[in-house]
Every structure is written in C-alpha cells, then in structure tokens.
Amino acid sequence: MPAAPNRRAVAVILLVPLIVTISLWAFSWPAARIAPRDLPVGIAGTAPAADQLQKRFEQREGAFEIHRYDDSAAAREAIEDRVVYGAFVVTERGPQLLTASAASPVVAQLLTEAAKGAAPAGTVLPVTDVVAAPASDPRGAALGASILPLALAGVAAGAMVTVMKLRGTRAALTLVGASGLVGVAATAVAHSWLGVVTGDWLTDAGVIGLTVLAIASAVGGLAALLGTRGIGVGALLMVLLGNSFSGVTSAPEMLPEPVGAIGQWLPPGAGGSLLRSVAFFDGAAAGTAALTLTAWAALGLAAVVIGGRRKPVAADTAEAPGHRREPALTG
C-alpha cells in the first residue's frame, strides 16, 4: 500500500478524535462552569441594612462586583445604562430587587434566587423587571441561538469568496454586500416575524450585518493570506471559540476566566453584546463591542485586498517539492 495514503489515513484517525475533544472542551467546559465572576450588581440605600447586604455579597469573594447607589432611581439608571445587571434597593419599607431580563435572563434568575435569601423571614422580596426581555422570547433562548447561524453565515461567505477565486477589491465588496443582505434577512426574521429583538429595525440590521462582515472578512482575509487552510483556521476561531465563548446564552461574567473576556474580543461575542444594547437598551454600553467588530471587519477586508495582490497560494493538492508520481501501471 502506498505510503502517502497510509499517512492520510493515520491523519484522519488521529485528527477526528482530536477535533471532537477540542469541540467538547470549547462548548461543554464553559457551560459546565456557569457561575458569577465579578458580576456587576448594585445595592441602593443608605440604611444600615444596605451595608449588611453588601457584606453578605462580599463574603462570596470574586463572585460579585458591588456598585453602591443612593436610591432606587440611580440604581434603575445604572441598569438601563448596562452598568449593572440588577440592584437590591433597601428602604424603610424593606428591600426590593430590580432586574433586567433583557440583559440576561440567566442573571435575572440568579439574582431572584439570591433575593429569596435576602428577604426577611416570612416575607417575599418584590422583584421589578426594569428592562424586560420580549414576551416572545422571555428566556432569551432565540437570541442566544441566533449567534451560531450568524457565525456560520460569516464563515460561509468567506469560504465561498475563496472557493470562487474572487480576489482583492472584488472579494471585499462581495463580502460587504453579502453581509448587508444577511443583516436585512436576519432582522426580517428576528425582528419583524419572531419579535425576539426590538429597537430600531435598521439599527438591528446594521449590527447583524456588521457582525457577519467581521466574521466573513476575517475568514476571507485568512484564506487570502494562508490559502484554503485559512478557511479552517477562521472557522475554528469564529465557530468553535467565538460562539462557545460568546456568553450570549448567559453573560460573559458567568463564564470561567478568561473565557468571558476572550469571547467579547471575538466577533460572535461582541456582536451578541452589541445587539442586546441596540435592541433593548437604546444603544447603552455599545461602544466597545462596536469598536471590536469594526476592527475585525477593517483588518479582515484589508487582508482580503492585500492578499489579492499577492501570487495565489499553491493549491493544497499541489505536489510537494521533490515528490515523484508513481509510474502508471500498464497492462
């Protein structure tokens, strides 16, 4: 049996289990370690009970990042500005909890459970959802599930541009056009039909389009510089790591460190955070995510254009230097 097929067979045997193992690690490990890590939470009020409540939260070292506010109005403003995920307000009439399920239903549920322990014996602590998730998606499941299709759309666009041998400026313009249409189509489904995102329609479409463009241009740029192997590198980066580290289904602060931070510097995580901001919070705290996506898109498109000016990378099937074909058998 020829040596080359033997080596390829061994490579498949070894690579498939390795890919599965890495995939399970990337998707399962963060999900299995969901817990608050420096989760921003507010405590409002000047009564001694507010100080006692803060001490109770600080006993869970590293779990919560406490922000103090004078009153309920200041705490509400902080929630609407996405400074904190929720706040405990202590008044003379007793404590109450302010949440924002639109920011993260998982965190809202976590704080609600914590409120049960903070309430005086025999009482129920009132809970107010300051920025509620849409009635059509109260658990945020649809929004969380939307990031993977967007990542796949971006990878597909970058791969198709490469396979179709579009290069340079033509390839860059193709990626921009395809991403823009994905933004329109996805918003028509998520906003107009399903109602799982709200806010300004065109802004939502722009955010989704920018997210897809950041992913597509990164994949296309890697392929322009590395050849077709760049598609695999981009797919692993955007789907395997970007999607699983995005924190969209929970919150970045609920993922193991440094996974949450890494996810926000990749387009899927930044796109999910930016979409929440524009869809539910009037654009609050959108700056960092928008800058991240813009940087990925700009660098990726630059790589596509620069790579298009270079000599095309040899096809993966090209013969290695010094390799000799086996003579054909003759009858």
Asked if residue 172 has pLDDT above 70, the reply is: yes
Per-residue pLDDT averaged across 149-153, rounded? 96
CB–CB of 175/307 below 8 Å? no
Question: Confidence class of residue 191 from pLDDT cuts 50, 70 and 90?
Answer: very high
**How many Å from the N-terminal Cα to the C-terminal Cα in the chain?**
19
Give the whole-angstrom CA distance, residue 150 versus residue 91. 45
DSSP 328: P
Sign of the alpha-carbon dihedral angle for 262, 287, 143, 230: negative
285: its two tokens: 């705290």
| Mean pLDDT value across residues 65-87 | 96
Reading across the β-sheet that carries 86-91, which strands appear in turn?
64-69, 39-44, 86-91, 94-99, 127-129
Task: Enter the tokens of residue 253.
Answer: 């602060």
- pLDDT over 50 (residue 315): no
Please tell me the predicted confidence (pLDDT) of residue 327: 52
Token pair listed for 80: 């609407």
Count of CB atoms within 10 A of residue 308's CB? 17
Kindly state the tokens that stand for 263.
Answer: 């996810």
**117 or 296, higher pLDDT:** 296
Average pLDDT across the chain, whole number: 90
Inter-CA distances, 58 with 33, 65, 68, Å: 20, 8, 13
Cα–Cα distance for residue pair 287/284, rounded to 1 Å = 8
Strand segments (E) across 195-249: none
pLDDT at residue 57 is higher than 60: yes
In one letter, which amino acid is 239? V
Cβ density class 36-47: b for 16+ within 10 Å, e for less? bbebbbbbbbee
